Amino acid sequence: MARTVLTGIKPTGTPHLGNYVGAIKPALALAKAAASALYFVADYHALTIIHDARKLRDSVQEVAATWLALGLDPTKVAFYRQSDVPETFELAWILSCFTAKGLMNRAHAYKAAVARNLESRGGAAGVDDIDDLDAGINLGLYSYPVLMAADILLFKTNVVPVGKDQAQHIEIARDIAQRFNAIYGPILVLPEARIDADTAVIPGLDGRKMSKSYDNIIPLFSPPERLRKLIFKYKTDSSPPSEPKDPDTSTLFHLYREFATPEETEALRGRYRSGIGWGEAKEAVFEVLSRTLEEPRRRYAELMADPARVDALLTEGAARAREMAQGTIQETRRAVFAR
């Protein structure tokens, strides 16, 4: 059966090792195996937060160059900017007319923003305070899940690779599609989330999950000297080199495993068991990481030096995506207006 895979990438922050292992690598593998794949930079979603045009433009460029450098093949995957596919916004409006407002009240991102407002006013609020509780929350953020549903449903997507935090959004997209289909017949396809496995969560410099918000990241395209320095920052205990060590509880070992071949991983496991110095373990991690990232780092630099090329690729991708969107747009228009 033909399967369509789609995902949106928010243009924020410096991409790090955790993003690569947990999200980018599995998404690229999925695209390779799919009958049809669409990956896009979600610039209109970013606009709910980023109101600095230059910063937004630079982030789009950065994230597009990152995915291309890591192996996204734009001849196989329709790779585009969300804002270049206006059919998305037409469908978003149609869908919003089938979305219960209450459903949006229950969306995590909105609820979290309300909770922060509640906390900042000392935790006490009555019904009359509803305006205060919505302070600083724009309508775009509130209806974020509808736009995301449009991204997905526009292409009759079957599979959506996303992080755990996005699971609710996929559920919402299914909900909306079901409501629409209940009235007009089976026009929209219910998508399935493909959630990144927890095992792929890679440890940051302090041993917690690597995340920008913990300030413990290793940027993907750090120059070699910087990469080495960061790896040597991983905290280790004071056990002497000769002492046998448990690979399964070692952050460095986990990191190594994500980038090494199975044979290399087994070999390092043996060295842990017979005693390895932490310096040696770090050196091994550095080597396997540099080897994997050297080529992408070079390609990334090339792409960043040639924004016009990245732009042209995204524009081409958008033209293809728009063509693929025509079927759904015509069917939904015909359905809701009987014309």
Write out the residues near ligand TRP by the rule CB under 6 A.
Answer: 6-8, 10, 42, 45, 148, 151-152, 160, 162, 166, 169
Minimum distance, C-beta of residue 195 to ligand TRP, in the bound complex (Å): 11
Closer of 157 and 332 to ligand TRP (Cβ): 157
Distance of CA 247 to the CA centre of its chain: 29
Q: What is the dihedral of CA 204, 205, 208, 210, to 10 degrees?
A: -20
Angle between helices 307-337 and 278-304 in degrees, nearest 10: 80
| Strand partners of residue 77 | 37
The minimum distance between CB 73 and ligand TRP, in angstroms, equals 19
Q: Which is nearer to ligand TRP, 10 or 228 (CB)?
A: 10
Q: Considering beta carbons, is residue 45 or 174 the nearer one to ligand TRP?
A: 45
List phi, psi (to 5°) of 192: -115, 140
Q: How many C-beta neighbours within 10 Å does residue 112 have?
A: 10
Nearest-approach distance from CB 174 to ligand TRP, in angstroms: 12
Q: Which is nearer to ligand TRP, 160 or 293 (CB)?
A: 160
Among residues 6 and 289, whose Cβ is nearest to ligand TRP?
A: 6
**Which of 250/332 has CB closer to ligand TRP?**
332
Q: How far is the CB of 173 from ligand TRP (least distance, A)?
A: 8
Least separation in angstroms between residue 150's CB and ligand TRP is 9
Give min distance, CB of 9 to ligand TRP, in A. Answer: 7
Nearest to 155 by CA among 333, 329, 338, 336: 329
C-beta nearest to ligand TRP: residue? 8
Closest separation between CB of residue 183 and ligand TRP, Å?
24
Helix (H, G, I), strand (E, B) or coil at 301: helix
Q: How far apart are CA 260 and CA 116, in angstroms?
A: 42
Task: For ligand TRP, give the closer residue by CB, 96 or 236.
Answer: 96
H-helix segments, the chain: 17-19, 25-33, 43-46, 53-69, 87-96, 101-105, 108-120, 130-133, 139-142, 144-153, 167-184, 224-231, 251-259, 262-273, 278-304, 307-337
| CB contact set of 131 (below 8 Å; sequence gap of 6+) | none
